[in-house]
A and B are shown apart, each in its own frame.
Chain A
Amino acid sequence: SQQGEEDPQALSIQEGENATMNCSYKTSINNLQWYRQNSGRGLVHLILIRSNEREKHSGRLRVTLDTSKKSSSLLITASRAADTASYFCATDGPFSSGSARQLTFGSGTQLTVLP
């Protein structure tokens, strides 16, 4: 089964509202990353949070990590129609070694921002 699972599976909000997506995982991690995917396109990296970090910001994005609950959340503030996309969390587990990191992706949250 996949390491990360996002919640909700789909989210629809009005432009200007905040969007919060959650990710839960099962085993301990080195880091957790969030990616965005526009329909039919490749993924774009948004933010990486290390296992010893609790919160990280990047522009309108805020990510939190609670390793005791094995969960993370992605908050997009003041959403825009252009934020409409699927958002995935990906975890890099403790047994991943070497220069290639074996990320395990969740099934994603489909965010729709209505103008």
Chain B
Amino acid sequence: DGGITQSPKYLFRKEGQNVTLSCEQNLNHDAMYWYRQDPGQGLRLIYYSQIVNDFQKGDIAEGYSVSREKKESFPLTVTSAQKNPTAFYLCASSIGGRYYEQYFGPGTRLTVT
């Protein structure tokens, strides 16, 4: 089956610890994205990547880091510098270009206490 996988589904961490969220796609998509969603809110773009070894900051990149060493993988690290990291994190990919939809993974719910 083609698609996007995110792991784990639920993640708990202590304050001050860095944590890495996994995102893998086998759709052969060039572009990948990370979004954050808070309760009752829409999605906000954290980082995006157009091709391997390239990524750009989105609207709320502070306290986050990413890498894109392989086309199919785009992990997100939530660092201790992120002031309010508890949220639902969604990864997406798209074939690229102007008129294509984004395909989303199932999400990771991160709780930091």
Q: Number of residues in A with C-beta < 8 Å to the partner?
A: 28
Contact residues, B1-22 vs A (CB, 8 A): 4, 6
What residue in chain A is nearest B95 (Cβ atoms)?
A99
A13-21, A35-43, A59-67, A68-76 - the one binding chain B = A35-43
What residue in chain A is nearest B51 (Cβ atoms)?
A99
Whether B107 and A101, one on each chain, are in contact in the complex, defined by CB atoms closer than 8 angstroms, is no
> Is B63 in contact with chain A by the CB < 8 A criterion?
no
User: Which residues of A lie under 8 Å from residue B101 when comparing CB positions?
Assistant: 33, 45, 48
> Is B77 in contact with chain A by the CB < 8 A criterion?
no
User: Which residues of A lie under 8 Å from residue B96 when comparing CB positions?
Assistant: 99-101
Whether A88 and B104, one on each chain, are in contact in the complex, defined by CB atoms closer than 8 angstroms, is no
Give the distance in Å from the alpha carbon of A60 to the alpha carbon of B105 in the complex. 25
Contact of B58 among A30, A31, A44, A102 (CB under 8 A): A102
What residues make up the interface of A, taking CB atoms closer than 8 Å to B? Answer: 2, 4, 30-31, 33, 35, 40-45, 48, 50, 88, 90, 92, 98-108
What residues make up the interface of B, taking CB atoms closer than 8 Å to A? Answer: 4, 6, 30-33, 35, 40-45, 48-51, 56, 58, 88, 90, 92, 94, 96-107, 109
Instruction: Offer 27 A-B interface pairs, CB within 8 angstroms, sorted by A.
Output: A30-B99, A31-B98, A31-B99, A33-B101, A40-B109, A41-B106, A41-B107, A42-B90, A42-B104, A43-B43, A43-B90, A43-B104, A45-B101, A45-B102, A48-B99, A48-B101, A50-B99, A90-B43, A100-B31, A100-B48, A100-B94, A101-B94, A102-B48, A102-B58, A105-B43, A105-B44, A106-B42
